[in-house]
Amino acid sequence: MIKPSSPTPYHLRTYNLSEIDQRIAHVYMPLILYYPNHEICSLTPDDKVRVIKMSLSQSLTRYYPFAGRLHTPTASYIDCNDEGVVFVEAKNDSQLNMFQQISDGQLFADGMVWENTHERASLAAVQVNHFACGGMAVTVSMSHRIGDACTLDSFVSHWASVARYGSTDHKEVLPLDPHFIQSPATTNFLAYETSVLKPWRCANPVTRKFVFPNSKLQDLKNKVIALAEGESTLSIINKLPTRVEVLTALVYKTVVAATNPGSSSFKPSILVVPVNIRNKLVPKLPQTTVGNLIADMLVTTRHESESSLCLVVSEIKKQKMELERVQNPQLARQKTDLILSRLGNEDLENMAKRSFWCSSLCMSGLNKVDFGWGYPKLVSTTYGSSTHTGSVLMDTPNGDGIEAWVTLETQDMERFQNDKDMLSFAKIN
């Protein structure tokens, strides 16, 4: 167990979770950072582990709730008792490249990957994996109850900066300090347990990575705009669709086609796109704000025509604009609830059974997480060890494109990865 280097002050011992935090299931979000054996680095593997441990302990003095505990998986607050986070060091006789195609559960401490946790479990865990080639993979698991992907990004970036500069008080580290919102004490808020909108579980999941170069993404943007000419969606789409918007639409359109192969009866589905709202609130919040500051954009698909690139992109842009200048996170969440309330229970239940979640970590700092021995060769924070359909979008390590890690049923993936339209913009890794 790695504990904070300094004890948490008494007045900070109770960290109340916001209502949005309490709506999130207590599951672990996974992150893998792959580091090759750089010859220019003089540190031995043991030296690197000492740096990682010491800087993690120092960072936990700032991110003190991470070292605490939930009394139960549905508790409304964290007991910041400094019990610490799980730390595991492992050795593997294989080469690092063998583990760069998919996130493997064995690389994570105690297999903490997208699984519900028992009470009193550590809220975060780290495993350092040494490979025969001298490379290493640092994996991080963080409970979704205490934060979203942006929180995970901020935490790891802060931790790596402390490792490089040796102190939490260094002028380069201070701007990365966490920002906490004081939430009022509440009773347990169990809305997430009764929600029918949950990720679609696969019986036989498989994950593939698809790479979309920037030049192809520009072609895709041009195609979307060209298709929108003369349609009611043109005025919205012409507002410079982003790479993420058009790629999300392409992936979802391909998923809809792959899961409805020649079917006489079209099966309705729903696209769920979580969006970071820190910079959309009034006033804006720092990106280092800890918690689940997200709203879900929902695109319903009752008929095949509703999965067209134009309609999906325009709906995403429309809902994104509606989130601008929201007064507080609760109002942003209410917009999502309003969309769900407009659907009939039976309609929503049928769509939820075929929900597809698409998260974007593009423009994050994860590709530049440097503990003192260079940037990672590859970063993966995927559904690879999950049984749920979905996709995670990330910038390629060289910055020339986006990687889409897609998880589907085995038979659906076979059709997805052979879709000619999708392949015209991508290459399979």
Q: Which residues are catalytic?
A: 144, 370
Phi, psi for residue 259 in degrees, rounded to 5 = -95, 0
DSSP string, 141-154: EEETTS--HHHHHH
Q: In angstroms, what CA-CA distances link 228 with 77, 216, 310? A: 48, 18, 6
Beta strands in 361-425 (DSSP E): 378-380, 390-395, 402-409
> Helices 149-165 & 45-62, crossing angle to 10 degrees?
120
Q: Which two tokens stand for residue 428?
A: 């399979």
- The three-state secondary structure class of 389 is coil
Residue 255 is classified by DSSP as H
**CA angle at residue 91 from 85 to 92, to 5 degrees?**
125
- N-terminal to C-terminal alpha carbon distance within the chain: 37
- 3-class DSSP string for 216-228: HHHHHHHHHHHHH
Residue with the two structure tokens 């410079």: 240
Distance of alpha carbon 192 from its chain centroid, rounded? 18
Distance CA 245, CA 310 (A): 10
Burial class (CB in 10 A: 0-12, 13-18, 19+), 250: buried
Q: Nearest CA to 362 among 219, 242, 272?
A: 242
Residue 43, both tokens: 């540190």
